[in-house]
Structure 1
Amino acid sequence: MITDEDRKFGEFLVDRGVVSPSQLVEALRFKKHQDLELTQILLNKGLASDRSVFNCLAEYLNIPFIELRDYDIDTRVLELVPKEIALRYKVFPVFKIENSLTIAMLNPGDVHVIDTLRRETGYEIEPAVSIERDILEAIHRHYETSESFDSSLDEVIQNIQRQKPQEDEKEKAAERLKRLSAETPVVKLVNLIISQAIVDRASDIHIEPDENSLQVRYRIDGILHENLSPPKHLQAAIISRIKILAELDIAESRVPQDGRFQVSLNGREVDIRVSTLPTVYGENVVLRILDKSSLMMNLEDLGFQELALQQLKSLLSSSYGIILVSGPT
């Protein structure tokens, strides 16, 4: 069935040079007998490329066209839309701002899908356009990464819980902590905590002991988010493992200490600064993540207005003087 909207969008495609008038007539003739979207018919018959069609669709509807490969996806956003729903409707959650969630989709005019996503997430849905293969690739890449981390973490926690802490009263405390921190499950758990924080683009990892629990939280965009709660009896081993990496004194837990170490993740060199602080329930540890790759930005990427950018470039070209940059930390 052909609608007025199909004809209007088809004419828009002709005006933009994406299809010829004869190709549009062919596609509309085919649509009379097929329950398919005009965009899908154009692609199935090879009359236009997917990127050009969906770019025009975004322009026609006055909504964004999203290149999903350009976005770093927050795992907390993925949790809002189950993988099954993402695959069923070929949609992908990109980011959220306050009570609105931006979703990349093939057909942003599908009211049924938007209502379903609104009910499922509890957020107002802001539709955006992306091509099918990019959406499916993003679903498989990001959801599998998230599921892989969760399953790895569960496996590590289960292995740790099956292991009974071995206490030897004759063994010195420092030697016992060093032995515990070198055990494979503890090493793997600490590695998972750090690598996931880097993937989530966290600026800090907070390891906070309480009376009966141990909490790990990530600071992302200035906000602390609860991540996981390892077994309380592993507190000393986890903290000692981090102190060993940062070349701190594992036997000293009564005074603050500072150190640093470096990790490599997917070819990226990341500096980690470590600060420990004694508390009533054990040492509180903060790891500051300094991702060198994220610091390599052009002046144009920093959000300057055009006039301010030109003024700054003029000052930088001067042969003398000083530019003072200050901030909260």
Structure 2
Amino acid sequence: MPESDKLNNKLAELKLQEEEKATQQLAQKLNLPYVNLILAPISTEALSTIKPEESRKGQVIIFQKENNQLAVGCVDYHNQETQKIINQLKSRNQIKVFIISPHSFQYAHSLYPKIKISTAPISGQISLSSEADFELQEKINSIDQIKKTIDQITQNQIDISELFKVILTGALVNNASDIHLEAQASQIDIRYRIDGLLHLIYSLPTKFYHLLDQRIKLLSKMKLNLENVAQDGRFTIKTKNEEIEVRVSTIPGNYGDSIVMRILDPKAINLQLEDLGIRDDLYQILKKEIEQPTGMIITTGPTGSGKTTLLYTILKKKFSPEIKTITLENPIEYHLSGITQTQIEKSYAGEKNNYNFASGLRAILRQDPDIIMVGEIRDKETAQTAVQAALTGHLVISTIHTNDAAGAIPRFINFGIDSATLASALRLIIAQRLVRRVCPFCQEEYQPSQDELAEIKKATENLPADIKPNLENITLRRGKGCPKCNQTGYKGRIGIFELIPITKTMEKVIISNPNHYQIQQQANQEKMTTMYQDGILKVVQGVTTLDEVKRVTGDIH
């Protein structure tokens, strides 16, 4: 290319940059958002909302559409023709107005001839099933590869749809449970939660924030015209072999919304009870209790400890055409065939919620269920109704937030549940956590240090003989770190558990209005193994590491 052409191209590029900068300043002055349509995804279905002649006359572009929500770009907000179009659109739709540059308008308007051959608009679903998508999955199989790919995309004129596909594909390939997009003062941090821990994937320039924010909200069917308000939505990722639900949550932050996308991988509930890491002796206890037709089974643990997976796995185990099962969830995370799943209403400020855990549970009892799954017991009314359901011919399974199994009983008593009634209703309490597995691709055996061996001996000295490990000449396993595990030494997770079956002796203790210590003491007398001890047994087996068990159990051992 001649030097004169290079110079002219450079001058034209600088002129466009100045135009976009001036448009941004105008948007700030008008207190309206700015968008560069050359970088943003444009739906040709949205474009066709108004005729090209009308668009040209008012210099207005409708670039995204989801039901009756429109994203509208205009060059001159106060122009009479512009206002005429905006007012017409407002009468039939919810609209969000963006300020765009003349160059943006010309580019978007040039797409009108392509309307007839356009691809499908955003409709709550994104496809990752093309040949190019498969190649991308092969390419970005580690965090380092994701970073390199995003580097390549952002160095060119960015396609926000392509960037978003890379973010989603990277999360799926690396088995992330959540994607976090966090707007900071000078960048947007992209983080994945992998095996329970967050990893910084990339820091994008802030200029990409609004593009990603709008893309995700449109896809998730959120309202574009709501700002400084928390919103929830969801969309579906369609791959070659399955459809994966993504639950989206946004909350307002200092520099823009914090966006979290929870990936609800259906493979998570394809597990059997035997696959969750429950020891055989504990499995026999659990199996016996879930075979009972009435009573209450409670799981405890913090968010992300595997409670939902356990509940769904129990429901699958119990499924039969002869049994009516109804769930009450917030929200429905996975869809189970043959089971009636219901979801509580989300209430906003000043609104009355007519279907919450308490009212929903009362309604379910009128539906002649055999098994009831309640997503969470968090208040007195729900606790009372759940206990009564367990006493009147139903098997109730639910969760409650306590640190360990013993803490569930005082929690119910604090809700005002009569201790004698509680003792009759409860059948089993399960506490659990998830620990990371040693990476099978880079694992190595090693001899434990004296301190490690002493800690293992102390944790196992009081275990029953049938599960007490032989510690002579033991070797442990750890991961060295490799590309397969993103240099962490861990890949995948497994549960550690403690179970308190409600024996006749434990019933008597519950009736006496016990505190946490008294429940723990009785459970120990009945040879309960704690989550920490269960974790130590998995350390001895080479499944996980001592550091990991201590990290997850903290002070509760």
| TM bracket (short chain) | 0.3 to 0.5
The structure with the largest helix share of the pair is 1
Larger-gyration structure (1/2) = 2
* TM-score relative to the length of structure 1: 0.46
* TM-score relative to the length of structure 2: 0.28
